[in-house]
Amino acid sequence: MTDSQKFDLIVIGGGPGGYVGAIRASQLGQKVAVIEKENLGGVCLNWGCIPTKALLRAAELKNNISHLSEFGIEIEGSVNINLEKVVARSRQVAERLSGGVSHLMKKHKVTVIKGVAKINKKISGGWQIAVEGERKSTVEATNIMLATGARARQIPSMEADGDKIVTYRDAMVPKTMPKSLMVVGSGAIGIEFASFYNDMGVDVTIVEAMDRILNVEDREISDLAHKSFEKRGIKIHTSAKLEAITKSKNDVTATITIAGKQQKITSDRVIMAVGIIGNTENIGLEKIGVKTEKGHIVTNGFGATNVAGIFAIGDVTGPPWLAHKASHEAIICVEAMTNQSDVHPIAENSVPGCTYCRPQIASIGLTEDNAKAEGYEIKVGRFPLLANGKAIAMGEDEGLVKTIFCSKTGALLGAHLIGAEVTEMIQGYAIARTLETTEAELMHTIFPHPTISEAMHESVLDAFDRAIHF
């Protein structure tokens, strides 16, 4: 690569949004480069979505082993955890997939530049970007797509130190397993780590500032999750204000206030999971006048910023902070950028969300409270997994499928699930919303038996007083 090499599109950031956008642009005949300072795949693949699922799978297997006698399988002796191997496998999974992304870049003739990128200046026909890597260089592009992602938000005076107070990144590669753990924040990240460590035998406490855990989820699902976690022995404090954290040689003590009363919680370690903030600094945005709000880049529905030729997608543009949303945004952005026909912004409330704790949680669309607040007259269907044959056979009959419909049009407004494998099932409702399906089509769809997905069908039937098995 020469310092003067020119591209149609340069993507800054090689995460699930950046590399997907680069591939799509290449498919459309663009000359593309990706500038990535660390590993291809970004936080999701290397330090988020993928390696956490490997950890959670280990925890799931450990939990399953403890119930084997219920299935007539008996194991003599104790079950031991080799933490080093658990962590090593999660890292191997991430490395394998990152290598796969490298292969995709070569396959689609996308140039990968290792280094830190900063937009230098506007030039004739595009932009100049400075790259600091093994050596300093500059590259040029007609268009730039910013896919720089986000990082864990820190609380002043309670910043992570990588030892006693940690973020998701450190929590993913523990050298030792703590006896006790406090998780601050109960979004998807906090809940997944709480679930993992609890299944690994750690005494877990969750501290949440809002009045309930998993605040973005439907209230009924949130309440069921709360009960399930407490049944497992996880202690939960909601409406709790974190006042201070003090560290000693062996532990951490948090001071929290609930209903005006202070109390102290001491644990071996604290995971801070209080949200994320976009990586907007030091990439030249101020210099060229790109608009940001509350730490995120402002874009329209096609990824365009207020500056011509500068686009942005993914976590750096704000919530929902989800890899699949970033990937889809990247494709929309590239197709709009290259003037493809039939390009549409992501439809509102059509991004599914998944939390891979035990039990799993998945949702799409409006919650019951939000649907009412928006003025809809609704019909709500529910089907508990305790009435589902496959769930009972699996020994996983804890859970619920809840569907919300507009009573006037039959439109599926939202679906909210908790239970075994619901993160795999939510896509059925995602497709239904994309197709603008009404209750009629869902009722007439044949669901295979025996599957947990039958609960999806029964929930729809229940909304219209036609449930068969409950």
Q: How far apart are CA 386 and CA 126, in angstroms?
A: 60
Q: Is the distance from CB of 206 to CB of 212 less than 8 angstroms?
A: no
For CA atoms 214, 220, 223, 228, the dihedral sign is negative
Beta bridge partners of 382: 402
Distance of CA 85 to the CA centre of its chain: 25
Known catalytic residue at 324: no
DSSP states along 366-419: --HHHHHHTT--EEEEEEEGGG-HHHHHHT----EEEEEEETTT-BEEEEEEEE
Tell the residue number behind the tokens 């300093």, with chain if given.
136
Residue 389: other Cβ atoms inside 10 A: 15
The full 3-state SS of 54-106, as one line of letters, equals: HHHHHHHHHHHHCCHHHHCCCCCCCCCCCHHHHHHHHHHHHHHHHHHHHHHHH
Crossing angle between the packed helical segments 18-27 and 83-107, to the nearest 10 degrees: 20
113 φ/ψ angles, rounded to the nearest 5 degrees? -115, 120
Q: How far apart are CA 51 and CA 170, in angstroms?
A: 12
Q: How far apart are CA 312 and CA 326, in angstroms?
A: 10
Helices (H), 9-48: 18-27, 42-47
DSSP secondary structure code for residue 448 in this structure: P
Starting at the edge strand found earlier in the chain, the sheet holding 165-166 runs 165-166, 269-272, 180-184, 203-207, 235-237
Q: Is the distance from CB of 284 to CB of 118 less than 8 angstroms?
A: yes
Catalytic residue among 67, 103, 344, 449: 449
Tokens at residue 460, please?
């729809």
Tell the residue number behind the tokens 């992304």, with chain if given.
101
Closest CA to 455 of 405, 382, 359, 394: 382
- Catalytically active residues are 449
